[in-house]
């Protein structure tokens, strides 16, 4: 075990410190700061450790590597999309970038952690960074209010997580996943009720971080109020990371004898509730960020469908495909919302999109592609993600979940296509004419292109995913 395993985390932490120090020198070097941080993100991508079979408190596998790549992609999209934003608000850009980099460090550690102490510390590292960044626009009461709600609920949830960890540690006297699952399988003189309570506590906190249905109430408020380009990060990277940890945590609790049916029912219930509540409530939203928040809840429901099988060998691959699609399309959609509206202190009403298709042709076209992909229509990556998930559900006898998923995808088409209708069908009747951040447009058009190319040639990535992700 060498330092090179942690190379991406070290690079990003150091880049954060450098950016923070440089930003105190002059306030006119914003572009340099963004250049440094994007380069550091690229370097972190390059130095991702080669998958080995370390089974200590860190796991370095193809799966963690894939999800680390997704996290860093979300970071790069967010950084490029925030360049203009930081000059519009009253707070310095250096801190924004540094905290964003440190949040990424937390997520990367969280992905690798196979020990409850490291897991908890990494989770809090990124959560606290996320609280700060949601409320970074201190001029806007909406931003602070969203951040405060997220913070209070998040801190409440992490108290429950720590209680669950304490119970598991107390009953098994271990903190590493591997040792815990051995201890649970041996089933010595443990208090089994406490273990059940602990696993349910930990699962509900993970569902809370995913914004899955009974635990979703923070996400619409936080997304609507929060700093828009940063929501591109918040709505994607932590969710994918928590899904991976869920994938790695389920085998641990399934080492308990005779519990499969209970956990299957819990996950099934959460998945169905997320799909139904997310899609139904997204329908009546007037604010596009709030609508995307509810649609994000629904997407988490789709991503949980493969986990319902509890087939530990194969359920990760469809989740990975869907996460790839979700990260690219959702983060780019939020960046475009920021590009089109440009003013974060007002609500982002869907009606105000009227005529944007004629004013910003490229931005509107990219947004259209991304919304079609979020709906799950071919030929886009979103369709490939849903195809993998539903095919996997059918292959494992979850017909009812596949039907619920497909029916509510059709419901979802209603509210996504309504936005496209506003973009193109209404004539221009007002003005929103300042020039936006060219990098936002660049990065989101590239994402839209990606979504289409991978939608037409999915085997470019899905072959690798199906081979390597466990």
Residues lying near another protein in the complex (CB under 8 A): 116-117, 120-121, 124, 128, 131-132, 135, 138, 141-142, 144-149, 151-152, 155-156, 158-160, 162-163, 165-167, 169-170, 173-175, 220-221, 224-225, 284-286, 290
Q: Taking the complex as a whole, how short is the minimal distance between the CB of residue 441 and another protein, in angstroms?
A: 28
Q: Which CB, 159 or 407, lies closer to another protein? A: 159
Residue with Cβ nearer another protein (192 or 449): 192
Q: How far is the CB of 158 from another protein (least distance, A)?
A: 8
Supply the minimum distance, in Å, between the C-beta of residue 169 and another protein.
Answer: 6
CB of 292 to another protein, least distance (A): 14
Quote the CA–CA distance of 162 and 223 in Å, as a whole number.
26
Q: What is the DSSP string of 403-436?
A: HHHHHHHHHHHHHHHHHHHHHHHSPP-S------
Q: Smallest distance, Å, CB 177 to another protein?
A: 13
Residue 266 C-beta: closest distance to another protein, Å? 21
Nearest residue (CB) to another protein, 144 versus 417:
144
Q: Rounded to an integer, what is the distance from CA 428 to the centroid of its chain?
A: 34
3-state secondary structure 33-49: HHHHHHHHHHHHHHCCC
The nearer residue to another protein, 204 or 309, going by C-beta atoms, is 204
6 versus 134: smaller Cβ distance to another protein: 134
Q: Kindly state the tokens that stand for 140.
A: 């806007």
Q: Which is nearer to another protein, 148 or 259 (CB)?
A: 148
CA distance 76 to 226: 19
C-beta neighbour count of 50 within 10 angstroms? 9
Q: Which residue has the tokens 């939608």?
A: 455
* DSSP, residue by residue, 193-248: HHHHHHHHHHHHHHHHHHT-GGG-THHHHHHHHS-HHHHHHHTTHHHHHHHHHHHH
First-last CA distance in the chain: 22
Residue 16 or residue 220: which is nearer to another protein going by CB? 220
Query: Residue 322 CB, nearest distance to another protein (Å)?
Result: 27
User: Which residues 6+ apart lie within 8 Å of 130 measured at CB?
Assistant: 103, 150, 154, 234, 238
């Amino acid at each position: 075990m060498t330092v090179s395993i942690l190379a991406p985390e070290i690079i990003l932490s150091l880049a954060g410190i450098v950016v923070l120090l440089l930003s105190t020198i002059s306030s006119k070097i914003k572009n340099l700061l963004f250049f440094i941080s994007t380069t550091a993100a690229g370097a972190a991508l390059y130095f991702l450790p080669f998958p080995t079979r370390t089974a200590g408190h860190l796991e370095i596998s193809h799966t963690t590597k894939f999800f680390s790549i997704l996290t860093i992609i979300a970071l790069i999209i967010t950084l490029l999309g925030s360049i203009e934003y930081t000059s519009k608000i009253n707070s310095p850009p250096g801190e924004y970038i540094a905290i964003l980099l440190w949040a990424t460090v937390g997520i990367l550690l969280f992905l690798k952690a196979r020990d409850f102490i490291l897991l908890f510390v990494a989770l809090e590292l990124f959560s606290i960074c996320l609280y700060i960044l949601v409320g970074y626009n201190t001029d806007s009461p909406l931003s602070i209010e969203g951040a405060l709600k997220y913070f209070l609920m998040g801190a409440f949830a992490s108290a429950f997580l720590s209680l669950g960890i304490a119970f598991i540690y107390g009953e098994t006297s271990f903190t590493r996943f591997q040792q815990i699952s051995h201890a649970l399988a041996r089933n010595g003189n443990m208090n089994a009720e406490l273990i059940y309570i602990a696993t349910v506590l930990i699962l509900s906190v993970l569902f809370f971080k995913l914004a899955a249905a009974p635990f979703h109430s923070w996400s619409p408020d936080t997304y609507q109020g929060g700093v828009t380009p940063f929501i591109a990060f918040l709505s994607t990277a932590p969710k994918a990371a928590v899904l991976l940890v869920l994938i790695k945590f389920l085998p641990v609790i399934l080492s308990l004898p005779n519990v499969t049916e209970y956990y299957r029912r819990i996950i099934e219930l959460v998945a169905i509730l997320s799909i139904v509540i997310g899609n139904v409530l997204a329908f009546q939203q007037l604010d596009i960020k709030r609508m995307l928040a509810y649609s994000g809840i629904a997407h988490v429901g789709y991503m949980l469908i493969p986990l319902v099988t509890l087939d530990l060998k194969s359920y990760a691959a469809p989740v990975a495909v869907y996460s790839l699609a979700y990260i690219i399309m959702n983060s780019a959609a939020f960046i475009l919302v920021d590009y089109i509206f440009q003013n974060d202190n007002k609500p982002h009403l869907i009606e105000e999109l009227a005529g944007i298709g004629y004013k910003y042709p490229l931005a509107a076209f990219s947004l259209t592609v991304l919304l079609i992909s979020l709906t799950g229509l071919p030929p886009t990556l979103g369709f490939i993600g849903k195809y993998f998930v539903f095919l996997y559900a059918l292959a494992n006898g979850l017909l009812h979940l596949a039907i619920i998923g497909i029916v509510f995808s059709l419901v979802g088409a209603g509210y996504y296509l309504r936005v496209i209708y506003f973009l193109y069908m209404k004539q221009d009747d007002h003005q929103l004419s300042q020039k936006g951040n060219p990098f936002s447009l660049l990065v989101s058009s590239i994402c839209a292109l990606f979504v289409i190319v991978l939608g037409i040639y999915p085997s470019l990535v899905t072959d690798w995913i199906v081979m390597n992700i466990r």
